[in-house]
Each structure stands twice: as C-alpha cells, then as structure tokens.
Structure 1
Amino acid sequence: MPDQVGTAIPDSHGAAPVELEPGDSVCRAVARIAAVLRDHLTANLPVAIDGRNVEGVHQVRVALRRFRALVALLRRDYPCATLDEAAARARRLARAVGDARDWDVFLLETLPGLSPLGRMGVNVAGMLLPLAAARRDAAYDGVRQILGGEDARWVLRLVNRLAEGELWDEARSPAGLKALEEPAGAFAVRHLARLHRKVLRKGRGFTLLTPPQRHEVRLALKRLRYAAEFFVTLHAPGHAGRRYLRRLAAMQAALGMDSDVLTTRLLLERFGDAADGEIRYVLGAVTGFLCCRQDATHENAHRRWRKFRRTAVFWAR
C-alpha cells in the first residue's frame, strides 16, 4: 500500500454534537446539522479521492451515512422529489465508498485477525492477500470516478443549500414553509420515539435471533444513533444524554461481529472466479473460524441488549 498522504478529518459530530437551541425550528436545526455534515464531507473528499490515506474513504462513508440518515428523517415528514433524488444519489456514492472501505477493513483488520489459522497451516495471507489487494485497487478506481462525478457535486450543492437554510423548491409553498417552522424538539421526539420502538421490536426475543436478524437490529440501532446524536443537545444538554448514547453505541459495537462476518462472507464469495481447490479450502477455513468467533460474542451482545432496554430515553426527561 502506498504511503499515506493528506489529512483526514475525523467525524467531529460524534465528539462534539451539533449545538441546537431549544427554540430552533426544523428548518434552523437542519441548517445547523447540515453545516457540520458539509464541513466533514468537504474536508475528507480530497483525501478519499487521493486514496493513499484509507481514513479519507472511511470518513466520507461516515459523512454519507449521516447525510442519508438526515434525508430519511426529512423524507418522512416533508416528501419531495429533491429529497428522493438526494437519497438515490447518496446511495450510489455510499455503495462505491462502502465497497472500498470493506476491502480496506478486510486487508487491514480481518486478515491480520485470521493469523491463528496461519499457525495451523492454513495459508490465508498467501492465498487471499493478492486477490483482495487487486479488488481493493479496483474499488478505489471506482471511488475516484464517482467522487469526482456529478452525483458527488449534486450532493455537495444540496448539503450547502441545507446548511444555508435553503431547503428545496417544493417546500416553498405556504403549507411547506409552515411545516418547516415546526419546533425541532417536537420533530426530534416524534422520530426518536419511532426509531427507538423499531429497535425494540426488531430485538424482541433477542437470544433466539438469527445472525441476519441481529444484523437488522444493528442497522436499526445505527439509524437511531445518528438521529440521537443529531438532536441530543435539544433534550439533554451537557452530560444528561451521554448514558443513553454510550449504551446505544455499546450495543451497536456488540453486534459488530455479525456485520463483520456477513461482510466478509460477501467479499469471500467474490473470490469464486479464482477459487481453485486450495483457495476453496482456505475460504472454508476462514468461514468456519469467523462463525466460531461470531458465536462467542452472543453472550456479551445479550448482556448489552438487556442494559440498553433498561436505559431511560433522554427525550422523555
């Protein structure tokens, strides 16, 4: 891998939540949130396009996830063609960036974590490293193309419009403008409660859930976490919301192995065109190893789930 250059800017949103005011309208709150997303995205796009600092792609992926989460919230209450287009364009960007990030994780984290198989005579690195490196390079070619293209420019223009308080043309009717003046606190409570209920519903009977079902729980947790981080300062300024956010993040992390195994399996399937007998043996060994590691995380995940379920929500204070 080439020397890393450029400076990727970490996600400041999680470290320093957006400072919203109790009197903010939805329009004003969205502008404040979008300004943070814009700064995060624009700072990291050149690093991701350059490709020599893997953190650039990671941070662009995070920024796109947060942007998509914000758009999803707005589309439920203020549906319009502009937001529909934003969701579609951001999804295409996220797909390309996500593919490159998945290969980075595979090369930098997953393969080193499979070293016990090497001590057992399974040549994981020797077999899979060249294959994965070639696919990673191809994925970065795709990143450079799409992040330098019209989809990225369009999304940046919209994020800037949101940050400047200019939402979308369809909202400029009297009814649309009135809806956007709803107190942000009421908007936040409605959506946080909905997303929290969805997590609890998907996690019902947690110990009996299959790996794909636990993965769905993790996705729901991720959407809830983004929304909670957007609006925590409205309802829980200072330290009041930290306990909820901390347990939410811990629950998401506890289910991370399910996501890692699912992603790795999908990546391994893409080696099928080069899978001779020896490679198939290595792929089988890796799959079995990861499944055993995944199984060992279930008790911790269940313990985290019980804690999360008992945690009081900060928006009901």
Structure 2
Amino acid sequence: MPAAPALHRNMRPAQAFVDLATQDLSAVEDGLDLVLRRDQAEDVHALRVALRHLRAVAWAFGPIQPARVKARWKQALRDVADAASDVRDWDVFVTETLAPALADQPGDPVLVALIETVQARRATAREAMVTRLSRYRQAPLPTLHRDLLHLAGRKSRGKLGAFARKRIRKARNRVRALTRTARDGRTDHVHKLRIGNKRLRYAIEALSDVLPKRYRKRLRKQLEARQGELGAVIDASVARRLMAECLGVSTADSITEATANPTPP
C-alpha cells in the first residue's frame, strides 16, 4: 500500500482533498478489480473498507466541493457500497454465526442444510453484485477522477489545519447526537450511530497529520473500541434477518432492540 499523502496545516483544503481522494479512489478501483476477478470474502470486505475511507474523506471536504460534484460523489460511492452489501452480509453470517455453530456440532444436518441454503443465496447475490460493479468500473468512477483534475486547479480559501479541526468537531457533535438517540436500543438508531462513528474515525485517520493529539490518540482509540461493540450489535441483527429469510419467516428488524448502551466520545 502506498504511503499516505503528506499533509500540512497551511496547505489549501482543495489540494488536500485531491491528494487524499486520489489515493483512496485508486484503492477502491484496485479492490473492485479483485472482487470482479475472483470470489474471496476478504476482497469484498477490503473493497467496502476502502469505500468507507473514501466516503469519509469526501464528507470531510464537502464544503469545498461544488454542489454538483458533492452530490455525484455521494451517490456514486453509495451505489458501489450498496452493490457489495448483500454479499458481505452473507459472508459475515457464515463466518460469525454458522461456522462457529457447525464447529460446536460437526455434521449437524440442520446446520449443514442451512449453510447450503446460505451458499446458494450468496451465489445469487454475487451474480447481482458483479453485474452492478462491472458497470461502475466504466462509469461513474472515471468521472470522479475528472472531478479531481478540475478541483486540483480550483482555488480554495483558508488553511487545512483550521478547516480539519472544524470538520472533526462537526462530525463529533453528530456522533454525540446519534449516541443520545441510540440509547433507546433501536437497531436502526444503533446502525446510524455505527455509520457516524466510522465516518468520524476514518476522517481522523485521513487528517491525522494536521489534527491535535487529543483527536489523533484518545478520541481515535475510543472510536475504535466502540466500533467493535456496535459492529457486534448490528451483525447480530443482520444474522437474525438472514436466518429469518432462510426460514421463510418475517422479522420486524427495524425495531429490534439492541444490547449496546453507547456513551458519547
């Protein structure tokens, strides 16, 4: 993996965005090539992580992007992430739920039959994913590269140091608000908190060179610890939904109560 672009507090925010987004967009394209070329669960996961990084960078630098560019990036990156989401859900279901259960009860006919059903549904999801992602490789990703070329010559006011601190404060305040909402235990609220938590964490990682130590060290560690906790809650909710799908029963997943009791960072 290439070294992260060097940032400094006095550089223009637009140039920082171009540098960071160029590297992250290349990582997304590399991940996309792997996903289309071979069928490996870790490749799908790596693609989604690369997308999260790029989406966090795009959000962080939203104020310096023209409105049309901002909307195009948001939609394009969301579409690519959505295309891979079903396959990733099935992979996590197998790895975190079914595989451990089968290890405890080797050869159990119910578990074996369930895994066969899951594998068939994952195969169908992968076919749909490949169809969608094959289109995205041609467009809109090349358009995003052109956006970066135009932004590279665009003048932006202010300095990156102050800009970065302001954006991180905004993201942190958003996470605090989401934390208060998620205390009701609703899975959909916990899911939104998890997304906000990831965005703040990845934005801090991207802007680490120009942020105060309290963000780079203490807050980042808090976010990493919470991410695992929130992830376990959401993974359990998704596993419940997929199990119900395999069994042909309905589930009111959107109002399932979570077990997390988040505290604000």
Q: What TM bracket, shorter-length normalisation?
A: 0.7 to 0.9
Matched, 1:142 2:91: no
1:197 CA displacement: 0.7
Structure 1 residues without counterparts, runs of 5 or longer: 1-11, 310-317
Matched, 1:196 2:172: yes
1:115 CA displacement: 4.4
Determine the C-alpha separation between the residues in 2 that align with 1:116 and 1:54.
19
Determine the C-alpha separation between the residues in 2 that align with 1:60 and 1:155.
16
Of structures 1 and 2, the one scoring higher in RCO (CA 8 A, sep 6+) is 2
1:171-210 mapped onto 2 (5 Å cutoff) = 177-178=154-155, 180-204=156-180, 208-210=184-186
What is the count of residue pairs matched by the alignment? 262
Match of 2:209 in 1: 233
Per-residue Cα deviation, 1:182-225 (whole angstroms, up to 9, x for no partner): 32222212211111011112223876544433332212111111
1:240 CA displacement: 7.6
Structure 2 residues without counterparts, runs of 5 or longer: none
Match of 1:153 in 2: 138
Per-residue Cα deviation, 1:5-39 (whole angstroms, up to 9, x for no partner): xxxxxxx59xx654312222111111221132033
Matched, 1:94 2:86: no
Determine the C-alpha separation between the residues in 1 that align with 2:229 and 2:86.
23
- CA pair 241-72 structure 1, distance change in 2 beyond 3 A: closer
Per-residue Cα deviation, 1:117-172 (whole angstroms, up to 9, x for no partner): 849x98552232111111111121122222221x3333432443455x4329xxx8
Instruction: Choose the corresponding residue for 1:257, options 219, 226, 232.
Output: 232
Matched, 1:243 2:218: yes
Percent of aligned pairs with the same residue? 25
Matched, 1:166 2:150: yes
Match of 1:5 in 2: none
Contact 2:4 2:20 in 1 (8 A): no
Instruction: Choose the corresponding residue for 2:51, options 53, 58, 64.
Output: 64
Per-residue Cα deviation, 1:227-248 (whole angstroms, up to 9, x for no partner): 11111111247x9823321221
Contact 2:194 2:227 in 1 (8 A): yes
Determine the C-alpha separation between the residues in 2 that align with 1:244 and 1:123.
47
1:1-317 mapped onto 2 (5 Å cutoff) = 18-115=5-102, 118=105, 124-149=110-135, 151-161=136-146, 165-167=149-151, 177-178=154-155, 180-204=156-180, 208-236=184-212, 241-271=216-246, 275=248, 295=259, 298=260, 305=263, 309=265
